[in-house]
Amino acid sequence: MARKVSWGVLGAADIGLKRVIPGMQRGEVARVDAIASRDLAKAKAAALTHGIAKAYGSYEELLADPAIEAIYNPLPNELHVAWTVRALDAGKHVLCEKPIALNADEAKALVAARARTGKLVAEAFMVRHHPQWRRAREIARSGAIGEARAIQTFFAYRLLDADNIRNKPPGGGALYDIGCYAILTARFVFGAEPTRVVASLDVDAKFGTDRLASALIEFPGGRHLTFTCATQIQDYQRVTIVGEAGRVEVAVPFNALIDRPMRITIDSGVDLVGGGAKIEEFPTCDQYTLQGDAFSRAVLGEAPLEFPIEDAIANMRVIDALFRSAKSGGWEKP
């Protein structure tokens, strides 16, 4: 049997308990052995529910455990950099939730920490490990739909709980939480970095976070991403990649289900009612399992780390520019 990397989890965040930990536990080369919370009872309850061997009542105790090789960090956004640096300095590799930081300057500390410690560090964007996204990118770059020129993305959910971390400054809001996916996937498909951006944000007066964000992002070669993300409207997500001779539509682009096959539609555009549409279906899989195994294989030296921390910082620069644009009312360069 392949050796499995021993993982520890910082905090008992929902994303970790409901998606990432179960996914990683199904991995070929990943094993979750410890979880820490500032509330020991909470850590013990999570460990019991998920069959995790060790529970700690502080993050420091987890980082001091010599048996733990890698850390998954799903703490609130404003704590990402500080605790990722501490984990790296403790000799652990780190997979940190998105967004990697609150701004690109803050994220640069991770490059220094990586150089200092020699440990791996990456941002946890699970979507780029899912076969549907690999295939969508392949089609877009192959010329099968002509030159891919435009991507339209919509990602929304409805969350009105004032106590939820997604509705609290400084790390809450639509752009940090889900707008980052629109940016990431466009960069992934186009294989390029944006040249300029313009954005509009609607900020909730009570929460102090953006609840609706829309943007136009220009890429080299006259290519565009347009997206809207929102935290207080109907749940919906869709991505359409449009080329000169067809389009690719990803129906469930971000929260891919694990209990049924996912599908993308490739349409030649011969008419407006889908006459040229073909559907490609992908066997059931868990993108969190794939993400955990990919990082674990890099830890084991079996494969290179496909998306290093520089990629996360590049995504963060775009988010920074969008926030600047919302204030200035004009175009900004990442």
pLDDT in tens, 245-294: 999 999 999 999 999 999 999 999 999 999 999 999 999 999 999 999 99
Q: Is 327 a catalytic residue?
A: no
In the prediction, which pLDDT does 1 show? Answer: 66
Instruction: For helices 309-328 and 180-190, give the axis angle rounded to 10 degrees.
Output: 120
What mean pLDDT value characterizes the chain? 97
pLDDT digits (tens, 9 = 90+) for 289-299: 999 999 999 99
- Please give the average per-residue pLDDT across 167-176, as a whole number: 98
- Alpha helices in the chain, H assignment, sequence order: 14-15, 21-25, 40-50, 59-63, 80-89, 104-117, 131-142, 174, 180-190, 287-299, 309-328
Q: With cut-offs at 50, 70 and 90, classify the pLDDT of residue 2.
A: confident
- Please give the average per-residue pLDDT across 152-178, as a whole number: 97
Look at residue 242 and tell me whether its pLDDT is greater than 80: yes
pTM (two decimals): 0.96
- Please give the average per-residue pLDDT across 299-323, as a whole number: 98
In the prediction, which pLDDT does 230 show? Answer: 98
pLDDT digits (tens, 9 = 90+) for 63-104: 999 999 999 999 999 999 999 999 999 999 999 999 999 999
Q: With cut-offs at 50, 70 and 90, classify the pLDDT of residue 303.
A: very high
Q: Quickly count: other Cβ atoms within 10 Å of residue 229's Cβ.
A: 28
Look at residue 105 and tell me whether its pLDDT is greater than 70: yes
pLDDT digits (tens, 9 = 90+) for 106-139: 999 999 999 999 999 999 999 999 999 999 999 9
In the prediction, which pLDDT does 139 show? Answer: 98
Sequential DSSP letters for 255-320? S--SSS-EEEEEE--SSSSSTTEEEEEE----HHHHHHHHHHHHHTTSS--SS-HHHHHHHHHHHH
Look at residue 218 and tell me whether its pLDDT is greater than 80: yes
How much of the chain exceeds pLDDT 90, in percent?
A: 99
How much of the chain exceeds pLDDT 70, in percent?
A: 100
* 209/204 Cα distance (integer angstroms): 6
- Please give the average per-residue pLDDT across 14-30, as a whole number: 96
* 248/144 Cα distance (integer angstroms): 10
* 238/249 Cα distance (integer angstroms): 7
Asked if residues 222 and 149 have their Cβ atoms less than 8 Å apart, the reply is: yes
Q: With cut-offs at 50, 70 and 90, classify the pLDDT of residue 46.
A: very high
Residue tagged active-site, from 4, 54, 92, 98:
98
